[in-house]
Structure 1
């Protein structure tokens, strides 16, 4: 019942081996949960690397317990060890059928994790409204409080700034229907001072304290990123954020995961007039109206309504289970209901009991 690697905590990421009794992890509902005990040792039996559809992995001992949803012709909730995951395999081979019960694919993914929750954490002090920071991270000048915005979206952005207690202090048309605006934060602080305090000037990234801020603050930050540099595909609720900064896209993927969503990262060429000018990173995920990932009406109106059941976009399919031999792992026992806590970069619910 042991694990290794990165473990999310209310204060950020910690290696499993460094966790001790009295520390806090995050339970299946995304709430802080105290650690009752933590024991690190080298296994005498096999460990397994479990890989998920988004490319993240977790290394765990053979008797580590996974709360999962298993497909065996139909679905059931269960809890099995790493060894059982490996023995049963990652696919279920079902007979092909036709008609109302048509099954055109024989090999079906056997294991899905329980849904990743949105983290439920306390509000963090911020020198700048998270929405404005997100918009600046997407379409702002890295050296100061200036944002490039289209003429069509300018009224929306001006309205948001007013609502947030900020204001536009200059507006300049750059070319065509594009404006560059300079903003400040009213009586609170200058835009430069706030960006400097967040340590993002000339180094765009999401500050660590904001990745562990309240649900509302993290959601507002994502809204700014989507409204400035995102695209929502009508009819599918598919959301894409495209960036040219590797550091910022990695932070953005982490941010999306903390909201209980399931991003996938892709890398390609950034082109201008058919010529490669750099690298383009894309975070793609599915969101629904209830997720509130955008404020801009022309984008938010494209989000589909979520149904009653947990959407497939919020669970992680297990795609590979690889034996590794012995490894250094840590047994963690927490006070959460059922002893379940989140582990790995994908924030996957795992158990501390057999």
Structure 2
């Protein structure tokens, strides 16, 4: 990989050049794996930008190995080098057919990655319930422990606040059918103290500690975001979040990826009365009932089951391999059973240790 490629580690994101022997990365199952060897390559003559459909990319040398699923008339799991992917191309021109095996389009995607796994991590102490944190990030006042909620969802929020060991100390109808509620943590401290301790007071974002919290803690933050500020479309299993704060939107994308889901973000102008007033960042991803990305019954009931086969919504299609400038690269070897580890913003499984560089 290029030495500035991002690698998710137990301590957060690092560039490949910063990864050292003994550091903890993640394997293709999301489990922790240690680096046992790293090699710096000062000048690689052929480096390639490997691009995926969700807009993420990794710069790698010709010999980097990728565990992929190849379609060449039928699907087959295999390890392929960057050079092989470039040689075979990113599309497969299949023979067109009709009838029960109809194939009306010739050029189809040849390569798909392994699914990005949910990171498997231990629970960590947080000063505020993860669910309440997510709900507040979605519909809370940035300067204090207050949340705006529609009257239809108020009973549900009150129940969840109680379940989380907190309490609502005031509720006030604002206008129409919305309420503003103020919460406190009872014997655990004040709500404003917890928000300040997390560094989110007047600075809405997902704290870095959350990205390396347990799977259930990360899921609870996402549930709060979806329940307060999300929409689930019937029959399609499509979940949408929308934010005006770019940092919070990017944080939500990263959070969703750590849960093994596949988010895509687009940014469009926010218009009010014909005038642009900012930018809306829309995040879409596919979820199923088993993913439990919501606690609200009216939202959760819209999600169907995914069945026994992992859907393509959990993998990334490889859409391009292009030559880039020569430069330094870095090889990493880990102690996971298959020698695989995650790399890039999309946390794509790569490896094992390649046999050499060009």
Q: Normalised by the size of structure 1, how large is the TM-score?
A: 0.98
Q: Does 1:159 align with 2:163?
A: no
Aligned match of 2:96: 96
* Partners of 1:126 and 1:149 in 2: CA distance: 24
* Partners of 1:266 and 1:2 in 2: CA distance: 27
Aligned match of 1:233: 233
CA contact (8 A) 1:43 1:61 kept: no
SS in 2 for 1:147: strand
CA contact (8 A) 1:92 1:110 kept: yes
* Partners of 1:2 and 1:352 in 2: CA distance: 16
Number of residue equivalences:
354
Aligned match of 2:19: 19
CA contact (8 A) 2:332 2:353 kept: no
* Partners of 2:274 and 2:141 in 1: CA distance: 25
CA contact (8 A) 1:72 1:110 kept: yes
Q: CA deviation at 1:273?
A: 4.5
Aligned match of 2:297: 297
CA contact (8 A) 1:142 1:202 kept: yes
Aligned match of 2:318: 318
Aligned match of 2:181: 181
CA contact (8 A) 1:2 1:64 kept: no
Q: Normalised by the size of structure 2, how large is the TM-score?
A: 0.97
* Partners of 1:109 and 1:42 in 2: CA distance: 34
Superposition CA RMSD, Å: 1.2
Q: Does 1:243 align with 2:235?
A: no
Q: Deviations over 1:223-275 (max 9, x none)?
A: 00000000000001000000110000000000000000000001012233554
* Partners of 1:44 and 1:173 in 2: CA distance: 64
Aligned match of 2:59: 59
* Partners of 2:269 and 2:28 in 1: CA distance: 38
Q: CA deviation at 1:171?
A: 0.5
Aligned match of 1:129: 129
* Partners of 1:75 and 1:248 in 2: CA distance: 38
Taking a change above 3 Å as real, the CA distance of residues 4 and 275 of structure 1, as seen in their structure-2 partners, is closer
Q: Which runs of 5+ in 1 are unaligned?
A: none
SS in 1 for 2:294: coil
Q: CA deviation at 1:4?
A: 4.8
SS in 1 for 2:181: strand
